[in-house]
Amino acid sequence: MARASFKKPTKAEMHLRRERTEVTRRLELFMADASGAAVIAELEETVGKLKSEITSLEKLRVKNSNLIKKNQRLLERTGELKKENASLRWDVKVAHSYGYELERKLKKTEKKRHEWAELARRLGNTLCLVRAENRSLKAKLNRNSTNSALPPSACPNTKMVHNSRMPTTRKRGGQVGHVGHRRHRQVPDETIRLDGPAACTACGGPLGFTGEYKTRQMTDLHITVYTTEYEAGIYDCTACGRQVHAPFPNGVVNEANYGNNVRAVSSYLVNACNVSIDNTTGFLFEATNHRLALSKGSVHNFLASFEKKAEGEIDAISSHIKGQPVCGSDATYAKAGGKRTYVYTYNCPDAVIYEASDTKGIAPLLTSPIKDYQGILVHDHDSAYYNINSGHAECNVHILRYLKGVAENEGTKMWPAAMYALLLKAKDWAKKASELKQGSLSASQIEEIESRYDEICEMAESEYADELTLPKKYQPDGIALYRRLAAYKPNHLAFIYDLAIPFDNNASERLLRGVKKKLKQTGGFRSIEQGMDPYCCFISITQTASLRGMEALGTIRSIYEGEESLFKYSSKSEPSSNP
């Protein structure tokens, strides 16, 4: 049996029930009391009111039922909405979870972005440095003897140097009217007269002598050995029993001695001609038909004795160089005893001194002929020279080569070409002024050159504004070059203030070429004391003799013979414009 459903009455129904109970109670009282007409009327009125209320309550009940149905529908809708809300909450949770995942991924991506940005910045800096290094390496690869300080010997693969002479319409070879040079005819030591032909070689007819001769000479070389033997009789002393003999001439001390010609030729072959001692002795042995057999020790002694005999001449040359108003100096590396050494040269127009040193810098200069020099010292850009208390002038040919290299390797820069043209212009003005016997350029010319020089240095500084922040090793070579030109302006323009100062230091560099030839031939010296010092002494004498127009071999022979004061200088001698 189904259980009856119980519905809880509402508040209105409970109130109606209480009213009905009160009415029933009053009605029972009225029935008991017959005189209650007034009460009945009141009750009827109350009943009317109650009926109207019941009607209202019915309406309210109907309305309440509708509301209950509506509420039921709302509850159903609410259930649906709850389900939908639960679904939405799940979706929200999923969305929040996805959002959290996206936010995590976003943070990770942002972190990656910062890392990639930092990596890109570092790669950008690295790329900038690599480009700078690439530019520097390309500049190094492009260096040769025409645009840097490298000598031509270090650039075997450079292009051929083109002829700088202007072409003309003249044909090649000797020109019309040019006498030319003929072979030198010698004074004959022997004349051989040939017999005349018996008949004409053309037609066979008889011949008549004209009294004239047609000559041809054959000049040959005969190397002879001339040996003088001295005999000194031996005598016994009757008083003390000793044996005595007549004294031999000076220089004749050993059983076999060599004359000054042998000493001079051997020294000349070894030092001036860069022939090894073995080849020198071998050549003289074969050239003299196996008569002159020198040992290596003898040749070495010849060179050592020359150094001692030439001490006075070296002192005279050094004193002369000290008294000159302009002196050039340069250095090159050598090798002695397997170690790196250096050869310095100090020169004026008619004299030169070579000195060997195991170091480079201030030390060799403080023991050189220019240690107390008071004139103008022309040199390359070596800071050690500025420790000498003298005036200084820098070689501008090096600057021209450096400017050419900067122009080739840094094509966007305009200042190298401008400075190149200015220096050549100043050189041309100085040459013309020197031809006119002027002491210096005019004041207007000097002012124009100086102002233009400063403008070009400022131009260079502005052109390198973006590259000054690079590390020093990656900076273009032009930065150091323009800073050097700005800092040493008086030294680079010294030749316009005094025309006795040369534009370059090429004279000193040319004097070192013989040293480089010697090193290429021999590879080096045994030591400084036994190899380089005698060699420097020898070439100081021979090169000075060459500068003064003297014969080198004759000068060597004279020094071996002990003649002094071969180089007589005056402290007031005037140097030429190119030391």
Number of other residues whose CB lies within 10 A of the CB of residue 508 = 25
Contacts of 36 (CB under 8 A, 6+ apart): 29, 30
**What's the DSSP call for residue 272?**
I
Contacts of 242 (CB under 8 A, 6+ apart): 236
Alpha-helical segments (H) within 368-505 = 396-409, 415-435, 443-463, 477-487, 489-492, 494-497
Res 63: pLDDT: 82
Res 77: pLDDT: 84
Cα 96 to chain centroid, rounded: 65
**Amino acid sitting at position 474:** Y
One pLDDT digit (tens) per residue for the chain, 579 residues = 445 555 667 777 787 778 788 778 777 766 666 555 666 677 677 777 778 877 887 887 788 788 888 888 888 888 888 888 888 888 888 888 888 888 888 899 999 999 999 989 888 888 888 887 787 777 777 777 777 777 766 766 655 556 666 778 888 887 888 877 778 888 998 999 888 888 888 888 888 888 888 899 898 888 889 999 999 888 888 888 898 888 888 888 888 899 999 999 999 999 989 888 899 999 999 999 999 999 999 998 999 899 999 988 999 999 999 989 999 999 998 999 889 999 999 999 999 999 999 998 899 998 898 988 999 999 998 889 999 888 999 999 999 999 998 888 887 889 999 999 999 999 999 999 999 888 888 999 999 999 999 999 999 999 998 888 888 877 888 999 999 999 999 999 999 999 999 999 999 999 999 998 888 888 888 889 888 999 999 999 999 999 999 999 999 999 998 877 677 664 434 443 333
pTM to 2 decimal places? 0.72
Res 168: pLDDT: 80
**What's the DSSP call for residue 503?**
S
Res 130: pLDDT: 82
Residue environment code for 473-492, b if the CB has 16+ CB neighbours within 10 A, otherwise e: ebbbbbbebbebbbebeebb
CA 83 → CA 69, 74, 256, distances in Å? 21, 14, 134
How many residues are given for the chain?
579
Question: Largest Cα–Cα distance in the chain?
Answer: 221
Res 376: pLDDT: 94
Number of other residues whose CB lies within 10 A of the CB of residue 156 = 6
Res 1: pLDDT: 44
Res 295: pLDDT: 92
Contacts of 224 (CB under 8 A, 6+ apart): 288
CB 343 within 8 A of CB 536: yes
Tokens of 511: 């004097």
Task: Residue 379: name the closest of 440, 331, 320 by CA.
Answer: 331
Res 161: pLDDT: 59
Angstrom distance (rounded) from CA 404 to CA 148: 8
Res 511: pLDDT: 93
Angstrom distance (rounded) from CA 420 to CA 402: 10
Q: Coil, strand, or helix at residue 339?
A: strand
Residue 369 exposed, middle or buried by CB count within 10 Å (0-12, 13-18, 19+) = buried
